[in-house]
Structure 1
Amino acid sequence: MFDIRAVRDAPDAFDAALAKRGVAPVAARLVELDDERRAVVTRLQEVQTARNAASKAIGKAKAARDEAEAERLIAEVAALKGAIQSGEEAERDVAQRLEAELAGLPNPPLEDVPVGGDESGNVELRRVGEPRRFDFAPKEHDALGAALGLMDAERAGRIAGSRFTILTGRLARLERALGQFMIDLHVAEHGYTEVSPPLLVRHEAVFGTAQLPKFAGDLFATTDGRWLIPTAEVPLTNLVRDEILSAADLPLRVTALTPCFRSEAGSAGRDVRGMLRQHQFQKCELVSIVAPGDALGEQERMTGCAERVLAALGLAYRVVNLCTGDLGFAARRTYDIEVWLPGQGAYREISSCSVCGDFQARRMNARYRPSAEAPPAYVHTLNGSGVAVGRALIAVMETYQEADGTIRVPDALVRYTGFTEVPPP
């Protein structure tokens, strides 16, 4: 969300920043809408002033016992009252049109974000860890899970439809262990505060983090006007909605391990198989609320926290800086962490760590007071996966598989699972 005053002050710079994201020039239209709004407000104020003056004059006319003048003024006030109602409706209409235009525009990228049309323009920053070398052809996770008899998409489909999976036995426990390991790591080593948030949220909360209105089709709505969370970013970031924090409250770092729900598009291709792209999945989310000057450093810190998970699990990964064409709607810069999947022979996204500036804070009216005497200013928000549990399970299964189908358990997880391997039947 943007401050229309900033658009008016630098329309060319505003258009140039959004052009990097493929947005056609829009500043002139926004300024025109704002001019219309201002004109309506000015006319409304003039009518209100006239009504107030006529109302006072009624008393004077009555005091002078000029009944004819009093009746004329009463009729005038009634007419002005109708004009005020019409003016207020016109002001609401143009304000809503302006807000809808502003709400539909993505966050401008930072200067160092590479310009590109799609993921082919992403820039690799680093690779960490060597992918395991196999003396046999590694299988993909869905084949491994089916052979173990512990991953069942067919039964899940009969219960819930496509893009759901049932895990049982040791595989279910291994997934649960991964989530517990992540949340414990971020709380104990990285200083995040664990939160158990609502999984159903109001429209305003999803608008605040910018999933609405643009991405309503990617979400699941309830019949009473609420939304299933697509990520714990939504309730965690909205913890500071409509609040004014003190400088001492920042940085605020929170984490949650929750189910997430997304209406994933598409019905063909390898991503439909198994657990790679599900309507329901577990994710450990990281959210930071910081002062503006600390945001870029916080993104580096948050990315390091997510990397620590993969390093502790012994998984190879790489970090990429997303280009403008692959950047999320609310992000100013995003680092994707992609884990190596031996079965696919490819790196696949397992975490995105984004800095959003004040984009979400403006939508949520989330502010802080830099000092006791200073006026409130908008906080800056960041979010990241720390990491996606289902994809971590996929990476563990494919990385730690043996030729006979056994899945070895990474050392970091043994105290959570109580076993060292998932053996074949």
Structure 2
Amino acid sequence: MHDIRQIRENPEAFDAGLARRGLKPMSASLVALDETRRAAITGAEAALADRNAASKQVGAAKAGGNEAEFERLRALVAAKKEEIARLEDESRTADAALRAALLEIPNLPDADVPDGASEDDNVEVNRWGTPRTLEFAPIEHYDIAGVKPGMDFETAAKLSGARFVVLRGAVARIHRALAQFMLDIHTEENGLVEHMTPVLVRDDAMLGTDKLPKFGDDSFLTREGFWLIPTSEVTLTYSVAGDVLEEAALPRRMVAHTLCFRSEAGSAGRDTAGMLRQHQFEKVEMVSVTHPDHSRAELDRMTKCAEGILEALELPYRTIVLCTGDMGFGARRTHDIEVWLPGQDTYREISSCSTTGDFQARRMNARFKPAAGGKPAFVHTLNGSGLAVGRCLIAVLENGQQADGSVSLPKALHPYLRGKTTLGADGTLI
């Protein structure tokens, strides 16, 4: 959420940032709401002072036998009481309207984010690995002979409908091994602290992490009023809501492996085949809570943590900086990592690492106490996939596919598979 004081003090810069997002100027309407709110507060304070002064004089007028003055002062006290109530109501109404408006406005991009209207304007900044040259036509993950016994979409549809999958046997084991491998790297080598968090959260957690109100249709809401998390970014980030952290405790680096749920509203017809886009999936999520001066360096560090997983799995990838027209709602800057999928003959997103600056921290009032003293300041929050487990499974299967329908598995996974190195064409580990 944006700071209305900064908008009030520099409306041109705010509108310029919105323009880079392809949005119309909004500062004038926001400042007008703020002026209404502030005028009502000032008026209520003045009326309260008048009422208090008149209240003190009522007794003196009564004691002095000045009945006319007594009645005038008593009427003034009553009028000021009504005025205070009216102005306080105006203040609350304007404040609610201002907050509602601010909650709907996306974050402003950092100055060095490339301008653009769509994904076509994103900028590649890194590329690693060379896609294999295959002597056969590569196929998508769900068509590989060794994968078919362990990836069941028909049973999933019978259970839950479209965009679900049942994994079984060797494929389920590889999926589990990938998640364990990611957690081990992040906790033992990258310095992240592992968490196990709920997957059901309240409105406040979704609102504080900018998933509400704008993206309510993209998530699932239970009859009891709980939201199924779209990612553990929600739980990890909101864990510091309302806190005032010591500066020495920053950065706080966290990781969690959880189920994630997305309704995929607006994605009808996209990636319907296979398990690339699912309503339920698993992700290893990274979240950092940092000092404002260090958030950009932390974004680069987080990106390298995600890239390192792909390199260890020997999966070619490229990293791009999203342009202003392709960034997410809460991001100031985003690095997307796209893994090579030979079955699609293209790179597809497998991780998105973003800094939100103080955008989420303001929504959830997360601050830190400067070591040098002074007022608490808002922290910066970052989040990134490290990685999406299902998409990583797809990449491992497609990049390791062999002409006979088997899959050669990355060396990094062998210890997690009790020394097994291959998914055989019959669907068993060998």
The alignment-based identity, stated in percent, is: 55
| Matched letter for residue 27 of structure 1 | S
Quickly say closer, same or farther: Cα 1:19–1:266, change in 2 above 3 A.
Answer: closer
Q: Which residue of 2 aligns with 1:312?
A: 312
Q: Which residue of 2 aligns with 1:420?
A: 421
- Deviations, residues 16-57 of structure 1 (Å, cap 9, x unaligned): 111000010111111111111111112211221222223222
Is it true that 1:374 corresponds to 2:362 in the alignment? no
Deviation at 1:76, TM superposition (A): 3.8
Secondary structure of 1:164 counterpart: coil
Map residues 117-196 of structure 1 onto 2, 5 A cutoff.
117-144=117-144, 148-196=148-196
- Deviations, residues 349-386 of structure 1 (Å, cap 9, x unaligned): 00011111111111111111222522111111111000
Does the 8 Å contact 2:221/2:228 carry over to 1?
A: yes
Q: Distance in 1 between matches of 2:84 and 2:131?
A: 70
Taking structure 1 as the reference length, what is the TM-score of the superposition? 0.96
Does the 8 Å contact 1:262/1:280 carry over to 2?
A: yes
Q: Which residue of 2 aligns with 1:45?
A: 45
Deviation at 1:228, TM superposition (A): 1.0
- For structure 2, which runs of at least 5 residues remain unmatched after alignment? none
Is it true that 1:80 corresponds to 2:87 in the alignment? no
Q: Distance in 2 between matches of 1:295 and 1:118?
A: 25
- Deviations, residues 167-208 of structure 1 (Å, cap 9, x unaligned): 011111111111111011100000000111121111111111
Q: Distance in 2 between matches of 1:270 and 1:373?
A: 52
Does the 8 Å contact 1:148/1:405 carry over to 2?
A: no
- Deviations, residues 327-347 of structure 1 (Å, cap 9, x unaligned): 111111101000000100110
Q: Which residue of 1 aligns with 2:197?
A: 197
Query: How many residues were matched structurally?
Result: 425
Map residues 258-269 of structure 1 onto 2, 5 A cutoff.
258-266=258-266, 268-269=268-269
Q: Distance in 1 between matches of 2:68 and 2:144?
A: 94
Does the 8 Å contact 1:286/1:386 carry over to 2?
A: yes
**Larger CA deviation: 1-10 vs 309-318:** 1-10
Deviation at 1:266, TM superposition (A): 4.5
Is it true that 1:323 corresponds to 2:326 in the alignment? no
Q: Distance in 2 between matches of 1:87 and 1:7?
A: 24
- For structure 1, which runs of at least 5 residues remain unmatched after alignment? none
Does the 8 Å contact 1:148/1:423 carry over to 2?
A: no
Q: Distance in 2 between matches of 1:147 and 1:381?
A: 39
Is it true that 1:7 corresponds to 2:35 in the alignment? no
Is it true that 1:106 corresponds to 2:89 in the alignment? no
RMSD after superposition: 1.7
Map residues 262-281 of structure 1 onto 2, 5 A cutoff.
262-266=262-266, 268-269=268-269, 271-281=271-281
Q: Distance in 2 between matches of 1:85 and 1:149?
A: 70
Does the 8 Å contact 2:315/2:396 carry over to 1?
A: yes
**Larger CA deviation: 268-277 vs 27-36:** 268-277
Map residues 330-369 of structure 1 onto 2, 5 A cutoff.
330-369=330-369
Q: Distance in 2 between matches of 1:400 and 1:270?
A: 25
Q: Which residue of 1 aligns with 2:24?
A: 24
Q: Which residue of 2 aligns with 1:218?
A: 218
- Deviations, residues 372-423 of structure 1 (Å, cap 9, x unaligned): 5221111111110001000000000101111222122211112222232222
Does the 8 Å contact 2:156/2:164 carry over to 1?
A: yes
Q: Which residue of 1 aligns with 2:252?
A: 252
- Deviations, residues 91-142 of structure 1 (Å, cap 9, x unaligned): 1111111111211111111111111111000011121001112111111012
Q: Which residue of 2 aligns with 1:209?
A: 209
Secondary structure of 1:271 counterpart: coil
Q: Distance in 2 between matches of 1:288 and 1:270?
A: 31
Q: Which residue of 2 aligns with 1:408?
A: 408
Q: Distance in 2 between matches of 1:17 and 1:249?
A: 32
Q: Distance in 2 between matches of 1:150 and 1:89?
A: 61
Taking structure 2 as the reference length, what is the TM-score of the superposition? 0.95
